[in-house]
Homo-oligomer: A and B are copies of this chain.
């Protein structure tokens, strides 16, 4: 039986406005937005005043409203809204990856206690239906790894830098102008945004909840012009890649920029597009590509969640109930290139297995296998930039195996 949905919407930014438009243009969906909660009553809006309120409780305690759609920036405020909505017997749709990544276990438990549903397809890779596919379609396949480009604005920036020889600053400004970058660009360029998404994906891929502070994220903010020239002259591009994989009963996962050759699946994923590659024992490699940013792509994911609530859909976190739940670990060595102004960085002693060093255009570039946690520490030193080595060592299982072989 189809359930009639009456929505209380929090936030009326690009995605909120996109959603309003998409709902009004879509046949077959039994849903209407009753009230929109906004922060600033005095801003100019595209809808008449009576649609809005600044009082959260106007919708959280409205018995007519059975679905809360939460599309605000503030993760802490969003979590308060989600908790109250569930306690008040309302289903929730949200696209707030930071809030989800920080509170996923509690949200999971609140769903079990209240029997209400929290859906969040729009939080991971915009329009790509990755959570739904992990939950429903790959519910039985033994997934070994998930990796991809999880952030549209950094991919847009890197594409512009490589294809149009734009500077980092002007590419970032353009991404913000087009609405691809978050209100705080640090979340994107330092790799936090893709990390939040990775954490959500890990829950539905491997059945574990990992806290953001346990997952390492290296961003693109330190990438230098020299790095870009080095990549270009060697036929590579740079992509910010999120990945997680299972090996020996443990789950490994991190976000880092990486040299990517033309043969690599992710090479041709350009601009604001996102991509997710799932590898399973039986389905083998599955690639999903779609727009990861922008109002309509995200709104379409939010709408699909709303539509699923019409049919009382709930995530089951099926991977949690299939055998022993694995542990998360950072005990991993990765093959990386560390570059810095000659003499002002690290020495080859930092590597578990040093491969080679070059001097190139006033820079020193050291390459080898290095412990992931050490790499994270080094990345905080000023003037140091880090890129994972290209392709061959991309395969996370190989990285691990080769690293082990070396010790």
Contacts and interface: CB of A to CB of B under 8 A. Distances in A.
B25 A307 contact: no
Contact of A136 (B138, B141, B308, B318): B308
A137 B134 CA distance: 13
Interface in A16-45: 18, 22, 25-29
Nearest to A126: B283
Contacts of A26: 140-142
A286 B127 contact: yes
A374 interface: no
Interface residues of A, number: 45
B133 A284 contact: no
Interface string A295-308: 01101110110011
A288 interface: yes
B289 A140 contact: no
A282 B22 contact: yes
B286 A288 contact: yes
Contacts of A287: 287-290
Interface in A104-159: 127-129, 132-133, 136-142
Contact of A28 (B283, B301, B318): B318
A346 B318 CA distance: 60
Nearest to A290: B286
A286 B289 contact: yes
A323 interface: yes
A291 interface: yes
A28 B291 CA distance: 33
Which of A137, A280, A321, A323 has the most chain B CB atoms closer than 10 A to its own CB? A137
A268 interface: yes
Contacts of A129: 133, 137, 286
B283 A139 contact: no
Consensus secondary structure, chain A interface = mixed
A303 B140 contact: yes
A281 B25 CA distance: 10
Find the residue from A140, A301, A303, A308 having the highest chain B CB count within 10 A: A140
Contacts of A288: 286-289
Interface in A151-189: none
A329 interface: no
Contacts of A141: 26, 300, 303-304
Contact of A300 (B18, B133, B283, B318): B283
Contacts of A140: 26-29, 303-304, 307
A285 interface: yes
Which of A136, A282, A303 gathers most chain B CB within 10 Å?
A282
A247 interface: no
B127 A283 contact: yes
Interface string A259-299: 00000000010000000000011111111111100001101
A200 to B, nearest CB: 17
Looking at A132, A300, A303, A321, the one whose CB has the most chain B CB atoms below 10 A away is A300
A237 to B, nearest CB: 14
Contacts of A128: 286
A322 interface: yes
Given A129-B133, A268-B268, A290 B282 contact: no
Given A139-B304, A286-B288, 14 more contacts: A25-B281, A27-B322, A28-B139, A28-B140, A28-B322, A129-B137, A136-B308, A140-B303, A268-B268, A281-B296, A283-B300, A284-B296, A285-B289, A287-B289
5 contacts: A129-B137, A132-B133, A141-B304, A283-B290, A283-B301
